[in-house]
Amino acid sequence: MEIRLLRAFVVLADCLHYGQAASRLCLTQPALTKQIRVLEDRLGAPLLVRGRHGAALTGFGADFLGEARELLGRADALDERARRMVRGEAGRLAIGFGLSSLQLAPQHIAAFRRHHPDVEIGLEDMSSAEQVERLLDGRLQLGFVRLPVVAPLASLPLLTDRLVLAVGDGVDPLRPPTLLRLARHRGPGLAGEVDRLLDHWAGQGYVPSAVHEAGDIQTLLALAAAGIGAALVPESAVRILPPGVRIVRPGTDLVWQTGLAWLPQAGSPLRDRFIALLR
């Protein structure tokens, strides 16, 4: 089923006059005659009866006309949609986000959706490490992740969380027996700050006896409350502080940034618009 033939037929059915239809199609009349004959041959039945004054649709022609119009409309819509996809006004954007970006992602995504209602946004909830993996293999175009991100990825910092120490009663925040930190896979950016803290302590002649990991911040705080040690947590965690735990600034400034990450070489105008909107 060639679009060209359908278009010829639909225009001809509109004016029921080969000459006029041909000029509307920017063709000559014999060319149109041929196209219609080809279409009729392919279908195996006549679409029009040629009278002396113009042509008239056959019953089959009338039935077929509706279907042809339908398909043509969809073909044109696809053309238009493709153009908009190229310009970055339509398409699909797969965006990852995690617990760390719960305050961040929704508002930005909502803003983007307001500007680009035709863009289908696929939101996928996963850890920063998973997001990085999927950004690298292309399953994700954008991710709200803990910064920094590794080499081929680019990023835009959006939110800076100060890191603080949470300690239970009776624990010396400056020399805690154990340092409690979030598991490595939950936040790639944390490692550097942990090292900076340990270096800072080492400079003061102190080395904690152990570094423990936990999978989420609630667990870290619970361990701190039990007097196990000092938990290195983002300052925003004060909202979920259990009783008997207090917040202490470490001796050195430690930060944990959350931001948007992407793979620059996997360019997509849609993605670039999203980034531009956040800048």
Task: Give me the residues that bind a second copy (CB under 8 A), please.
Answer: 1-4, 43-45, 56, 58-60, 62-64, 66-68, 70-71, 74-76, 78-79, 81-83, 85-86, 91-92, 138, 141, 266-268, 270-271
Contact 99, 236 (CB under 8 A): no
Q: Is 175 in the site for DNA (CB under 7 A)?
A: no
Give which of DNA, a second copy, none residue 85 binds (C-beta under 5 to 8 Å, depending on kind): a second copy
Q: How far apart are CA 92 and CA 177, in angstroms?
A: 50
Cβ proximity to a second copy: between 20 and 58 the closer is 58
Q: Which of 3, 14, 30, 207 binds DNA (CB under 7 A)?
A: 30
Q: Considering the rule CB under 7 A, would residue 24 count as an interface residue with DNA?
A: no
Q: Contacts for 126-131 with beta carbons within 8 Å, 24 or more apart?
A: 126/96, 126/98, 127/98, 127/185, 127/186, 128/98, 128/100, 128/186, 128/187, 128/188, 128/189, 129/185, 129/186, 129/188, 130/96, 131/96, 131/97, 131/98, 131/261
Residue 121 and residue 177 in contact, taking contact as beta carbons nearer than 8 Å: no
Among 1, 14, 42, 50, binds DNA (CB under 7 A): 50
Among 52-60, 77-85, 105-113, 161-169, the segment contacting DNA (CB under 7 A): 52-60
Q: How far is the CB of 2 from DNA (least distance, A)?
A: 7
Of the candidates 24, 38, 196, 255, which one interacts with DNA according to CB under 7 A?
38
Q: Does 17 bind DNA (CB under 7 A)?
A: yes
204 binds DNA (CB under 7 A): no
Q: What is the DSSP string of 196-262?
A: HHHHHHHHTT---SEEEEESSHHHHHHHHHTTS-EEEEEGGGGGGPPTTEEEE--SS--EEEEEEEE
217, 249 Cβ separation under 8 angstroms: no
148 is a contact residue toward DNA (CB under 7 A)? no
Q: Is 78 helix (H, G, I), strand (E, B) or coil?
A: helix
Residue 31: contacted member of DNA, a second copy, none (CB under 5 to 8 Å, by partner type): DNA
Residue 29, interface with DNA (CB under 7 A)? yes
Q: Is 55 in the site for DNA (CB under 7 A)?
A: yes
Pairing label, strands 178-182, 230-234:
parallel
CB of 8 to DNA, least distance (A): 8
The closest alpha carbon to 233, from 161, 171, 142, 146, belongs to 161
Question: Of these partners, a second copy, DNA, none, which one is at the site of residue 33 (CB under 5 to 8 Å by kind)?
Answer: DNA
To the nearest whole angstrom, how small is the minimum distance from the Cβ of residue 3 to a second copy? 6
Binding residues (CB under 7 A) for DNA: these are: 2, 4, 16-19, 26-31, 33-38, 50, 52-55
